Amino acid sequence: MKKTTFIQPDPKSWMDTFHFEIPIKIRYCETDMLGHVNNVSYFMYFEQGRIEYFENLGLTDELFGDQKVSVVADLECQYLAQMYLKDPLRLHVRVAEIGRSSMDIQYAIVVDGALKAAGRGTIVLIETASGKSTPIPDSARERISAFEGWM
């Protein structure tokens, strides 16, 4: 069964939409007996990139605090090629869409210019006292929109 992809219209054009990236150093414990990066490690890389993206924009207090917290509502990864312990990973992160209380975030893992994996997921801003979703602050929307070039 072929799954519809979010890598649109093609991998190169999709990659050109990213404005934020970080290096990722693969640790030995993230690999399997054959030296491949284990499939669960990709999700740790996505989390690291997501946090650093929001830190870079100065949004950690607005999206991760005592009264509000961003939680993962769904997360997926498309494994496109194997990765190994010594591979120099670059993780690209972008907010693709903002809803009332949620954001769709996309991820691209690249090694030496080759796309090795792609991911996407939705995070939801939750009010900690009630456990219910709460609107994303306008200031966060504006900062993300400006960074992503939507304005």
Q: What is the DSSP-derived secondary structure letter of residue 26?
A: P
Quick check: is 128 in a domain?
yes
pLDDT higher than 90, residue 1: no
Domain span holding position 71: 11-145
CATH code for the domain of 97: 3.10.129.10
Return all residues near 35 (Cβ < 8 A) that are at least 6 apart: 84, 85
Which of 97, 150, 90 has the alpha carbon at shortest distance from 115?
A: 90
Distance from the first to the final alpha carbon of the chain: 38
> What type of residue is 81?
A
Quick check: is 5 in a domain?
no
Number of folded domains in the chain? 1
- Supply the mean pLDDT for the chain: 95
Quick check: is 6 in a domain?
no
Quick check: is 31 in a domain?
yes
Quick check: is 87 in a domain?
yes
Q: Using one digit for the tens of pLDDT, what is the confidence trace for 11-62?
A: 999 999 999 999 999 999 999 999 999 999 999 999 999 999 999 999 998 8
Quick check: is 2 in a domain?
no
Query: What per-residue confidence (pLDDT) applies to 66?
Result: 86
